[in-house]
Structure 1
């Protein structure tokens, strides 16, 4: 059986106003953790930060879910994790190429809007410096792969997202992947996608454009419609149940790295 106490659901939050509503749908019994992404922390930096901060905290499974994830039935997440445990699977999520109309990127990398990790197992080998060397094209990763069933375009050479290196590294370390199917478009909405479990059940809807919520009118109205559809427009998460983490030095470290790179290029 899945031990809920050893599962954390982590969101790198760009829009706290959206998170405070959608987090009310997150699975009960798990630890809710927020990484403050409002000052530029996201992607691979967020993944590295997560592993540094949580490695020795006793978590066995990590669910990465953005604040624009709307769970239909969050209890299904435990069925998914049990399925992964029973089948010795370590990482799952939706491909970032070939599965969603507006994501025509790498079919072997997972988009981090929703990804489940066997955190305990992966943390044993996690090496930040090594992982950063994997942001490159690996021809052998795509050999003997049949992508004919993918409904949309893809690009096996795509390095669009800097966090791809984490998933490429995991492939080369022998971690086993479960690629989830998804539905896109959803009704008249061409952007959003529905995440499916291996048995075809709908677990969550992903709206995209969380950063645009209450910034741009069109996406605010669009996402606001989903909040009403899921009946959470007037709900707010109990912040006493949420742990918020913030790397206050992130921007300084980022600027420092840019300066060093510039010096190296000009030397």
Structure 2
């Protein structure tokens, strides 16, 4: 491959370090046979063991090429979004009487980490058997940790009667009046079905409204119908659909 030609993929240092294998990502969202061969060449030259590819679903040639070159479908990635409306304090209407929504505290982290290990079972890493399940559980534990330590602009928790966290939502907003992004949403297994997920998302919506965000987006999985229904019930509509593929070498 010529040094003058942009590499078709990029190495992902964080994923590589965390999972203990060399991981890369395809830079484009479409594939043709010639590009797939260049991707394999780059992967060999860089000793890649796992390659991520986020594909457009509306190009049959891309899908055929991905399958022919050994990419395996692991997830359908849905992005939903909605407009921001003035904060209405609607959170309390969804909450059980013995629960409250409040900002996360650092002392909440052990409990939040425990919830995160089991709250994201529909995610793509859990559906690729090459990744050890305990390591994937730790991935989400680390994710909520860095959200609470400052990567997210705001993290809310739903707390039970003794103050113990039962769920969380993280909020990202690069600057005032930019588009907001809901990050992680998770509810403890024993607390599901009680309206905590809706209450947490409503708290996030109110926070984004107070920050005068231009809109709000959230990503979920095609297999996570419960999450889709929750977001749709709160005014979110599907904005984009992509297909996650993984390819393993060696």
TM-score (norm 1): 0.23
Q: Greater RCO between the two (CA within 8 Å, min separation 6)?
A: 2
Greater share of strand: 2
Larger Rg: 2
TM-score (norm 2): 0.24
